[in-house]
Amino acid sequence: MNEHIYKHHNKTLLLYHLVFPSKYRREIFTENVSLTLKKICLGISGRYEIHFVEIGMEEEHVHFLVQSVPTLPVTQIVKTIKSITAKQIFQEHPEVKRFLWGGNLWTSGFYANTVSEYANAEGIQQYIANQGAYKKILAQQLIFDL
């Protein structure tokens, strides 16, 4: 699905599911605005360490699956995407401003969730809980062997 990002001293695969509602939940993501949004996101990928794996939208909100690096906190990723997309959509589609008063494209809030290609939360929790289990079993065997 996705490639790991290699840096000097780390290897990461950080995926985030982000959802941004439009301000006042206005239905502004027409086909033309949606195409523009996707084009803007490709530009963001070229300038920032934010890779858009998938973009899906309804008329009043957008879902993003993004991959990034650990030096970018999710709040910075959100801020970057929201600010650049809002500015450029308003420039390319001034008609969108008619549906929004106050000059904001997005609500101030967002939804964010981490995504794993390899395991769910329960699987990771079990994996962590079982760390050292081999040594514990080995120690128990040594005790019984005496």
Mean pLDDT of 56-78: 94
Q: CA dist 134 to 123, 142, 143, 144, Å?
A: 18, 12, 14, 16
Could you tell me if 95 and 43 are in contact, meaning their C-beta atoms sit under 8 angstroms apart? no
DSSP-derived letter for residue 6 is: E
* Topology of the domain covering 5-115: Alpha-Beta Plaits (3.30.70)
C-alpha dihedral, 44 to 47 to 48 to 54, nearest 10°:
30
pLDDT at 44: 98
Residues 6+ apart with CB under 8 A from 123: none
| C-alpha closest to that of 26 among 96, 112, 92, 102 | 96
Could you tell me if 14 and 53 are in contact, meaning their C-beta atoms sit under 8 angstroms apart? no
Q: What is the mean pLDDT of the chain?
A: 86
Mean pLDDT of 20-33: 94
- The tens digit of pLDDT for each residue in 126-140 reads 766 776 666 566 566
Q: Where are the domains of the chain?
A: 5-115, 120-146
pTM, entire model: 0.81
